[in-house]
Chains A and B, each alone.
Chain A
Amino acid sequence: MPQDARMAEDPTAFRLGAAHPGDRGVIVRVLAAPAGPSGALDPEELELRLLEFGFVEGARVEVLHEGFLGADPIAVKVDDMRVALRRSEAMNVILAPEAA
């Protein structure tokens, strides 16, 4: 997994795209990066779509379910809303464990 500045700063940070059901955290950063090798959108557009779905810094996220093939897509709870998305896009959402 490529490291970025933010994740280097906070060793406990993790990507939503690599999380498992039961994992939870607070969004510390939403990246404008292409979604894996096969993403069709330009990074800014993907960032905007994530933001419009409520994936924004400070939002609480919990992973609820994952698909049966390749554990993809995932169903997550963002604040009070349930959203389904693919792991490739979720890679752009960086979470940190919530401070107790």
Chain B
Amino acid sequence: MTPAPFATFALVGNPNCGKTALFNALTGGRQKGANYAGVTVERKEGLADLPDGRRVRLIDLPGTYSLRARSPDEAVTRDAVLGRLRDEPAPDVILCIADATNLGLVLRLALELKSTGRPVVFVLNMIDIAERQGIGIDFEALSRSLGLPVTATVATRRRGLEALLDIAAAQAGAARPEADAGWREPSSADVRDAHRQARDILRLAVRPPLRPDTLTGRLDAWLLHPVSGIAVLLGLLFLMFQAVFTWAAPAQDLIEAGFGALGAAATAILPAGWITGLVVDGLIAGVGSVLVFLPQILLLFLFILLLEDTGYMARAAFLMDRIMGGAGLHGRAFIPLLSSFACAVPGVMSTRVIDSRRDRLTTILTAPLMTCSARIPVYTLIISALIPDRTVGGFLSLQGLVMFGLYAAGIVSALVVAFLIRKVFWRGGSEPFMMQLPDYKRPEPANLARNLGTKAWAFISRAGRIILPLMVLVWALSTWPAPPPGAEGPAIAYSAAGRLGRWLEPLFAPIGFSWEMVVALIPGMAAREVAVAALGAIYAVGGEEGALAGILARQWSLASGLSFLAWYVFAPQCVATLAVVKRETGGWLWPSIMFAYMLALAYAAAFLVYQVAAALGFG
């Protein structure tokens, strides 16, 4: 029997108070909703059972310092707390989660929550760390002066969870005001007043630590140091890239081989004809093209979660703020841009941590310029086909150098575009950069695993839902109409995609693209790496990359190849990204702008590269 939940509890607290860990501990695996890097950026809900068998619904709201919302995240928290969300009644009880080692700001939030008139329970989380530091908290004095029930928990050790649920359940029966009558936007005088009140409560109920945490200070002396701090940051980034591109390779090969075998098995079983094509080239190849990125995405998320859970991410934002600020980006844009090296989809989604809409839009618009891993198969193919395998300057590989140049072109152009957006479109000043530098903490493996699982599933379901149907569509476009009997050349040349490619060819002639290259771009719209398979189909060599590189080396000029690479640095060829941008910005305006500017950049860059290379005699 599963009883229906009788009440809803909402978890509210400052960022970094261990709220998500507490939510995980209370709900176990029974939670819905998903999000990407940035920890709690989407409303999550779950179920918890009281000791007496009754069941409650819990919602985990984004961290905030105040109900005065500044970012989309904080607006969700405010609206949920005040019951302003359309299909979501106001919570019966608000659980105000506090980091017991750092009560300064959360007391003010608790007073603000109390002013809504809804039942509030004040939860001292991480009480074990407070005890270890010798912070003396007089629960009764705290409860009396706040006017709220107070309880303590250790989410990571599951301490105090039942008591918390019991106390909250007792509050759920209390009077429930209908509207948000009690709350209004506080003025600066109100905030000062609340601070004074909070300070009085602190003085009354809390004794300062006997053994304060010195680890954070000692670590920061190194990690925020102008020289060693930057060195550590670069080292971590290097390690992360190594992990994402080297350690993930065996797993990716395995997934690719697995889907190849699956496709072969399906071809053997199914009757010949278009059904086989649909299943093998459409469905199986479609699922495979999403899943092949999973090892990289998992490793990347693992790194980002580790950096967030330990408290380092805020330091990275601190170190990067000035560099990013020079290009008009916010220090917090560092995380989304970093994620975009694996895939722009999670990158765009993690921009929700950025307060201001302008800064967020600038970050979203530039994220796809970071070289995502879907470009790598294309880059590798063209480079191995057309760039001679020799060393320059004695030890540098020319091919590696070109690869590096493509990455650098992406980063530099992202900074330039961000700068131009700032200067041309939003001449207004910059948003303030203000963020808490939380104490360093040891990450909790169980919590880490759960958050990683949530993020991985969100990627698969969202990217899969977009890429899979598109793969089927693209397959259909490149299959029908079928070539007439006795026709020469590859079948794709007679298909709708092939015709479209030939029709578009004059448009692409100035940048040195042959009709075959243009045709490959069409399936490449679904996902960039699909262009490799498309080139294979066009030159009728199937999936053998070595053979394909040989053909390209004979048929493409160096100028055309370089132009193709330049095109790929900028071209907006990823419908999944455009769809996510539409979802995150709430309309087609911004994805259209993104598509247009990236297309223009791609054409201009390819034109420039082709014309210069041709003039130098590489045409």
Contacts and interface: CB of A to CB of B under 8 A. Distances in A.
Interface string A29-44: 0001001111111001
A64 to B, nearest CB: 7
A64 B429 contact: no
Which residue among A56, A82, A83 has the maximum number of chain B CB atoms within 10 Å of its CB? A82
Given A49-B434, A80-B102, A40 B428 contact: yes
B224 interface: yes
B65 A52 contact: yes
Contacts of A39: 429-430, 432
B593 interface: no
A65 interface: yes
B436 interface: yes
B431 to A, nearest CB: 5
Interface in B574-619: none
Nearest to A82: B437
B431 A53 contact: no
Interface string A2-38: 0000000000000000000000000000001001111
B430 A40 contact: yes
Contacts of B186: 48
Which residue among B101, B105, B321, B432 has the maximum number of chain A CB atoms within 10 Å of its CB? B432
Interface stretch (B19-27, B150-158, B191-199): B191-199
Nearest to A32: B188
Contacts of B323: 69
B436 A72 contact: no
B314 A84 contact: yes
A82 to B, nearest CB: 4
B424 interface: no
A65 B436 CA distance: 14
B195 A51 contact: yes
Given A40-B429, A73-B318, A73-B433, A51 B191 contact: yes
B229 A68 contact: yes
Nearest to A45: B70
Interface residues of B, number: 47
Contacts of B434: 49-50, 53, 83-86, 89
Given A47-B188, A84-B318, A84-B433, A65 B220 contact: yes
Contact of A38 (B199, B322, B429): B429
A64 B220 contact: yes
B192 A57 contact: yes
Given A41-B432, A51-B191, A65 B322 contact: no
A75 B188 contact: no
B68 interface: yes
Given A67-B226, A68-B229, A49 B432 contact: yes
B98 to A, nearest CB: 13
B422 to A, nearest CB: 10
A39 B76 CA distance: 26
A44 B225 CA distance: 33
Given A65-B225, A68-B230, A81 B436 contact: yes
A82 B433 CA distance: 14
25 contacts: A40-B430, A41-B429, A41-B432, A53-B436, A56-B192, A57-B192, A64-B224, A68-B230, A69-B322, A72-B322, A73-B318, A75-B437, A78-B104, A79-B104, A81-B436, A82-B220, A83-B434, A83-B435, A84-B437, A85-B432, A85-B435, A86-B321, A86-B325, A88-B432, A89-B432
